[in-house]
Amino acid sequence: MPRPRLLVVAQRFGDVAGGAEAHARQVATRLAAADLNVEVATTTARDYWTWQNDFGAGEDRVDGLLVRRFRVAAPRASDFRRAERMAFAEGHSLADEQRFIEAQGPVVPELLDFLVAEGRSYDHILFFTYIYYPTVFGLPLVPDRAVLVPTAHDEPAIRLTSYRALFHAPRAIAFNTEEEREMVHRVFRNRRVPNEIVGVGVDLAPTPSGERFRAAHGLEGPLLLYVGRIVQSKGCDELFDYFGRWRELDPTRNRATLVVAGHAEMPIPDRPDVRHVGYLSDDEKFDAFDACDVFVIPSRYESMSMVTLEAWAMGRPVLCSAESDVLRGISRRSGGGLFYRGFPEFAEALELLLSDDSVRARLGERGRSFVGETYTWPRIVDTYLDLFAEVRARNRS
C-alpha cells in the first residue's frame, strides 16, 4: 500500500530564521520519519521582510525532503505600512484588506498554480501560518485536503474579514496552545472545524556547555538571555528600557548582563551590560541556554514560543510579558515562569529570580517537567497522524 502523500506549504523553508518556519521544518522532517511521503512547497525567499529571491527556483532537497521553490513575483511593497494602516482603519473596504495581504507578500502565483494542478494528488496539505499570501489564497484551492497550522495570536490582522473564510475552510486545524484555540474560536466561532492542540517538540543539543558560551563571548556573572528577532514588535524596546531602569535602581547590587541573540532590526543600546551575540547556531543557542540564569521573553504576540520551551527543557526559569495570553497561560500551567505587567513587576520578579537560587531551580525544574510531559515528538506526531486520518475519512464519506 503506498504511503499517504503530504504536502507542507510554508512561506519560507530550510536555512532561514523564524519560529514558524523552524516549526514547519521540524514537523515535516518528523512526519517523514513516521512513514509519510512528505514534500514541501515554498518560495525562493530567505528574508521575510524583503522576500528577495535568494534561493533558486525549482526542486531542492532539505533534510532529505523534496522541496519545490517558487519564485516570488514581487518584493514586499514599498508602501506596505500605508496599506497596513488603510486595512486596519475603521470603515476600510475589502479591497483595502486584499491590498494589505498582497503588499505584505510573498506573492507567489506559481505556487497557487501548482496547488490547482497537483493539489488533489496529495492526501493531505499542511498550511503553516494564517497571515501570508500562500495560505490565504492557497488553502481555499484545496480545502478538502487542508490542515491549517495558524500560528495565530490576537493582533489587528486576525480580525480582518478576509481571514474569516480561511478559518472555516480547512478539514482540520492544528493549534499550538489552549490560548490560541480559545482566541480563534472566540474571534471566528469555528468550533465545528475538527481541531487538536498539537504544538511542536523540543530537540536539544547533545552536549550543551554554558562555560563554552561564556568563554566565547567573555561573559561573567548573572546572565539574562533573549533569543529571537530583535525588533519593537517583539517587545525588545521595552526590554531594553526596563533592564536599564532596573540596573539604575541600584547599580552596585543589580548586577547582570542582558545577552540578546538574533537578527537586529532595531538599535541595540550601546552599553557594556547589554551584549548582542548575533545569530546563533542550534548548538550555540543551547550553550547560551545553559549559560543563562533567566530566559526573558517580552513579546506580547505569540501563538507559541519555541525558545521558551527550549529554555524550560534546559531547566531555566522564564520571565515573560503578562500581555501575552499564551506566555502568561503557559507559565501558569507549567509553573516554570514569572510574568510582569509594567516596570515595577519586572524589577521585582527579576530581583527575586537573580537573588534566590532555590526559586530559579524550582521554576526551571517545573518547566523541564512540563515540556517533557507535553511537548514530546511521539505525542505530536501521533496527533498529526490522527488529524490526517480524519481528513481521509471525511473525504471518503
Question: CB under 8 Å to 67, separation ≥6 — which residues?
Answer: 13, 14, 39, 40, 41, 42, 59, 60, 61
CA distance 22 to 27: 9
Domain count, the chain: 2
Inter-residue contact 298 to 320 (CB < 8 Å): yes
Quick one: cell of 26? 521540524
> What pLDDT score was predicted for residue 252?
81
Helix ranges, 131-249 (H): 133-138, 164-168, 178-188, 210-217, 236-249
Residues 251 and 107 placed together within one structural domain of the fold: no
Quick one: cell of 239? 526590554
Residues 180 and 51 placed together within one structural domain of the fold: yes
Which ranges of the chain have pLDDT less than 50? none
Residues 364 and 380 placed together within one structural domain of the fold: no
> What pLDDT score was predicted for residue 40?
98
CA distance 351 to 354: 5
Instruction: At 293, give phi and psi (nearest 5°).
Output: -95, -35
Inter-residue contact 67 to 14 (CB < 8 Å): yes
Inter-residue contact 292 to 223 (CB < 8 Å): yes
Residues 127 and 215 placed together within one structural domain of the fold: no
Q: Which of 50, 56, 69, 61 is nearest to 111 (CA)?
A: 69
> What pLDDT score was predicted for residue 100?
95
Helix (H, G, I), strand (E, B) or coil at 59: strand
Residues 129 and 180 placed together within one structural domain of the fold: yes
Residues 154 and 251 placed together within one structural domain of the fold: no
Other CB atoms within 10 A of residue 316 CB: 24
CA distance 65 to 63: 5
Residues 41 and 109 placed together within one structural domain of the fold: yes
**Can you tell me which residue has the cell 517537567?**
369
Q: Give tens-digit pLDDT for 338-357.
A: 999 999 999 999 999 999 99
Q: Give the β-pairing of 65-70 and 58-62.
A: antiparallel
Inter-residue contact 313 to 372 (CB < 8 Å): yes
Beta bridge partners of 337: 318
Residues 15 and 160 placed together within one structural domain of the fold: yes
Give me the domain span that covers residue 31. Answer: 5-201+376-396
| Termini Cα distance of the chain | 20
> What pLDDT score was predicted for residue 2?
78
Inter-residue contact 116 to 95 (CB < 8 Å): no
Q: Which of 347, 225, 206 is nearest to 276 (CA)?
A: 225
Q: Which of 254, 221, 251 is nearest to 346 (CA)?
A: 254
Predicted structure pTM score: 0.81
Residues 193 and 246 placed together within one structural domain of the fold: no
Residues 225 and 133 placed together within one structural domain of the fold: no
Residues 43 and 145 placed together within one structural domain of the fold: yes
CA distance 166 to 196: 17
Other CB atoms within 10 A of residue 249 CB: 11
Quick one: cell of 201? 517538540
**Can you tell me which residue has the cell 541595540?**
268
**Can you tell me which residue has the cell 511521503?**
37
Beta bridge partners of 61: 66
298 to 62, 172, 202, 212: CA distances (angstroms): 32, 31, 21, 26
Quick one: cell of 232? 519593537
Residues 194 and 321 placed together within one structural domain of the fold: no
- Domain with residue 342: its CATH number is 3.40.50.2000
Q: Give tens-digit pLDDT for 67-111.
A: 999 999 988 888 999 999 999 999 999 999 999 999 999 999 999
Quick one: cell of 325? 495570553
R_g of the chain, CA atoms, integer Å: 21
CA distance 121 to 227: 40
> What pLDDT score was predicted for residue 306?
85
CA distance 220 to 215: 9
CA distance 208 to 213: 9
